[in-house]
Amino acid sequence: MVAKTLIKMGRMQPVVDYAAIIFGCFLVALGLDLFLIPNRITAGGVSGISTILFHLLGVPVGLSMLGFNSLLFLIALMTLGREFGLRSAVATVALSFMVDGIYFVAPLLGTAPDLAERGITQNVLLATIFGDILTGAGMALVFLKNSSTGGTDILARILNKYTEITIGRSLMMIDALVTVGAGFVFGAEMAMFAIIAIFVNSKTIDFLIQGMNQGKKFLIISRKYREIADDIIRVMGRGATLLNGVGAFSGEDRPIILVVIRPRELPRLKSIVRDHDPDAFVMVSEVYEIMGEGFRRASL
């Protein structure tokens, strides 16, 4: 029975993945149509270029995006594999149709005939923040399913694959170039809002992809290592590992405590170390994902 259920789940997984991709595209389209495009906010990338063309020439944003993404789609096939390319094609086409679909359908709703032209709000700052939270959430969902919404997302995934640059930071660097162009078209003030938009978008993506399972890694060198480790286990309920270390100058054995905690546990651990040894040598670094006992189950 269990085996049959697992088989069915395996067969259903592609359906679930594509449904998530479509929903992610819908969130991106909502963010663009209801917040960003009406307020001339160009959050970089192909959507930013398409927004500029829409306000200058009246070219539908979705149509422009579909055209620009065709070339980048071929790049995805060659560098990121057929699976990524196929899913990206679905996401790219779906997003393009959704962007234009919402724009043309919104006036027909009756309750807000100018919704597509004016957006939900004319406050540019609110539109920037909420629009890019929506688009960032949608893009993160698409990325998590090994796909892309097209445009510079593909270039960001390529950079992420071959370098240690996160997807969000890659998008920020690439999209900054588009923002400079938008500044010449819409003015310096709108370019400033575009910079805020890129920042909010990239941080939303990084948080949803990595941030929900982030932590802090502590390396603690202290003569009171045993007392500190005991309190970590007893008071905090966290595991700790003792690593073998040797002082380069003294040649003495120096056990090193390795412990990974949630960010909210940081003050408590600092207090434990300070109480036992104010002179302890402590190194703290970011951990972008934690799997295993006490955290999220490993899914390698």
Name the phi and psi angles at 7, rounded to 5.
-65, -45
- In this prediction, residue 262 carries a pLDDT of 81
Structure tokens at 22: 């479509």
Tens-digit pLDDT profile for residues 160-216: 777 777 776 777 777 777 888 888 888 888 889 988 988 898 888 888 877 666 788
pLDDT per residue over 108-157, tens digit each?
A: 665 455 665 677 888 999 999 999 999 999 988 888 887 777 777 677 77
Burial bucket for residue 17 (CB in 10 Å: 0-12, 13-18, 19+): middle
**Alpha-carbon distances, residue 127 vs 44, 108, 192, 253 (angstroms):** 15, 22, 13, 58
The pLDDT, as a whole number, for residue 125 is 92
User: Which of 10-14, 96-100, 111-115 shows the lowest mean pLDDT across its residues?
Assistant: 111-115
110 DSSP 8-state letter: S
pLDDT the model gives residue 7 = 45
Question: Candidates 3.40.50.1370, 3.30.930.10, 2.40.50.140, 3.30.70.120; correct CATH number of 212-287?
Answer: 3.30.70.120
What is this structure's pTM? 0.71
Rounded to 10 degrees, the C-alpha dihedral 182/187/190/194 comes to 30
Q: What is the mean pLDDT of the chain?
A: 81
Domain parsing of the chain, residue ranges? 2-209, 212-287
35-57 pLDDT, tens digit per residue, is 998 888 887 788 888 888 888 88
Which pLDDT band holds residue 282 (cuts at 50, 70, 90)? very high
Q: What's the CA dihedral at 137, 139, 140, 146 to 10 degrees?
A: 150
CA distance 170 to 35: 23
> Which pLDDT score is estimated for 292?
66
- β partners of residue 215: 287
pLDDT-derived band at 300, boundaries 50, 70, 90 = very low
Task: Record the tokens describing residue 2, joined without a space.
Answer: 């269990």
